[in-house]
């Protein structure tokens, strides 16, 4: 073969190889609780993931997106770790994603490092999580982001004595510590504290302790779902609200997926969080309308937005890398990714790989027959995770 023919053949071969590589599917492994107590978390995150693909096509930079979904059943770290390993070794995924609960995300972090894969955390909120692996990016929020602001807010609004009640797991400890620190720094006094189990707690003795202590306010941190419903119903039945005791909480408590079950006990409840179904913006209006159409039996919540934005972060990052999802290039390109989400403007912090965003102070009201979280203070813009400071 003549030299110019050989060079032409080699060039064509290289182009064919590049085209084949570009055409390879982008496999995203989702580790979520699709059964058990926390199945609502998995449902909402999956909804957000699927909705993004419905709206933006199922190909990112020429690579068809394939979702491989695994059920880790909830706060079961050994299962989460095993599934992350399976996704990398057997299913050959390019990216790990999901991780609704902190214990599972922590256990999978080492797998993301040893398996050399990017890991997109779409809900788990412990601040230190992004330090567990250089390959982790978070698209939800940290517990500190929506806990620290409540301390000074409560003191400024006349609540000088507080009782804290949190779930007995990592994020609960974080929430307790962050609130107590910011609250006492603002001049408040902690007059009682308790940690309750994640599984089937009996709130009666805790509510009696609160009634005996008579604080101005109870700071509450419980995972979205059954626990907040049980607490608030007990709080109302035992007459604590009638005695003038108020409740403030992280936005998990009044999650749209479960707020209606709380009934009137939730009215007036003040929370801090990063997303509300009734957030006023054109981006959120488009998102909620699309969500209602796709999932008419559900309401969009912060977890669905965590999944939706997680997919957009992946998409925007691959636009920068030309479709290359290799860990080194992906992790370089994802730093500083910024766009307007249904929740407002968000940025992946270039230093921490965590998310900077607006944290809203909200109050529960009834509008058009349903309970909603109405934002009334949006002064905390581009708010970094205070847990890393």
Whether CATH 3.40.50.2300 fits 24-141+281-356: yes
Q: How far apart are CA 38 and CA 40, in angstroms?
A: 5
pLDDT of residue 139: 98
Question: What average pLDDT score do residues 295-299 get?
Answer: 97
pLDDT of residue 23: 67
> Token pair for residue 30?
């989702």
Q: What is the DSSP letter of 265?
A: G
- Name the burial class of residue 294, with classes exposed (0-12), middle (13-18) and buried (19+) by CB atoms within 10 angstroms of its CB: middle
Residue 248 — very low, low, confident or very high, per pLDDT cuts 50/70/90? very high
Q: Are strands 26-32 and 63-71 parallel, antiparallel or unpaired?
A: parallel
- Considering only the top CATH level, what class is 150-273? alpha beta
Quick check: 2 pLDDT over 50? no
80, 99 Cβ separation under 8 angstroms: yes
Number of Cβ within 10 Å of residue 202's Cβ equals 11
Residue 198 — very low, low, confident or very high, per pLDDT cuts 50/70/90? confident
245, 214 Cβ separation under 8 angstroms: yes
24-141+281-356 against 150-273: fold identical: yes
Q: How far apart are CA 30 and CA 373, in angstroms?
A: 29
Residue 261 — very low, low, confident or very high, per pLDDT cuts 50/70/90? confident
> Which of 8-17, 257-266, 274-283 has the weakest average pLDDT?
8-17
Residue boundaries of the structural domains of the chain: 24-141+281-356, 150-273
pTM of the full predicted structure? 0.89
Question: What average pLDDT score do residues 22-31 get?
Answer: 90
Q: How far apart are CA 145 and CA 124, in angstroms?
A: 13
Backbone angles phi, psi at 318, to 5 degrees: -70, -25
Measured over the CA atoms of residue 363, residue 168, residue 105 and residue 354, the dihedral's sign is: positive
Secondary structure of residue 289 in the 3-state scheme: helix
Q: Which strands make up the sheet holding 26-32, listed edge to edge?
A: 59-60, 63-71, 26-32, 95-98, 119-121, 136-138
């Amino acid at each position: 073969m003549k030299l110019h023919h050989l060079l032409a053949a080699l060039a064509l071969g290289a182009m064919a190889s590049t085209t084949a590589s570009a055409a390879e599917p982008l496999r995203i492994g989702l580790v979520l609780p699709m059964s058990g107590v926390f199945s609502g978390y998995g449902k909402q995150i999956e909804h957000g993931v699927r909705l993004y693909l419905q709206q933006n096509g199922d190909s990112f930079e020429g690579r068809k997106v394939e979702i491989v979904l695994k059920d880790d059943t909830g706060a079961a770290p050994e299962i989460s770790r095993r599934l992350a390993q399976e996704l990398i070794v057997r299913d050959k995924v390019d990216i790990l994603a999901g991780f609704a609960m902190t214990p599972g995300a922590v256990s999978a972090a080492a797998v993301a490092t040893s398996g050399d894969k990017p890991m997109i955390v779409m809900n788990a909120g412990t601040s230190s999580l992004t330090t567990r692996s250089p390959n982790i990016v978070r698209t939800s929020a940290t517990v500190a982001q929506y806990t620290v602001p409540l301390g000074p807010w409560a003191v400024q609004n006349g609540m000088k004595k507080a009782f804290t009640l949190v779930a007995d797991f990592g994020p609960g400890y974080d929430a307790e510590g962050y609130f107590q620190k910011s609250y006492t720094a603002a001049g408040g006094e902690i007059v009682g504290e308790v940690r309750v189990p994640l599984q089937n707690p009996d709130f009666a003795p805790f509510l009696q302790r609160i009634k005996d202590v008579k604080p101005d306010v109870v700071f509450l941190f419980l995972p979205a779902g059954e626990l907040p419903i049980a607490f608030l119903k007990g709080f109302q039945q035992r007459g604590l609200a009638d005695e003038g005791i108020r409740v403030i909480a992280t936005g998990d408590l009044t999650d749209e997926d479960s707020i209606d079950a709380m009934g009137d006990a939730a009215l007036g409840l003040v929370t801090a969080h990063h997303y509300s179904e009734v957030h006023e913006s054109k981006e959120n209006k488009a998102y909620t309308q699309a969500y209602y159409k796709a999932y008419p039996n559900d309401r969009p919540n912060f977890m669905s937005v965590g999944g939706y934005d997680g997919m957009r972060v992946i998409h925007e990052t691959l636009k920068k890398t030309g479709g290359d999802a290799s860990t080194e290039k992906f992790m370089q390109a994802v730093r500083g990714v910024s766009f307007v989400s249904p929740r407002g403007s968000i940025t992946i912090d270039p230093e921490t790989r965590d998310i900077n965003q607006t944290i809203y102070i909200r109050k529960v009201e009834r509008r058009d027959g349903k309970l909603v979280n109405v934002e009334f203070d949006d002064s905390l813009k581009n708010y970094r995770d205070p847990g890393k400071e």
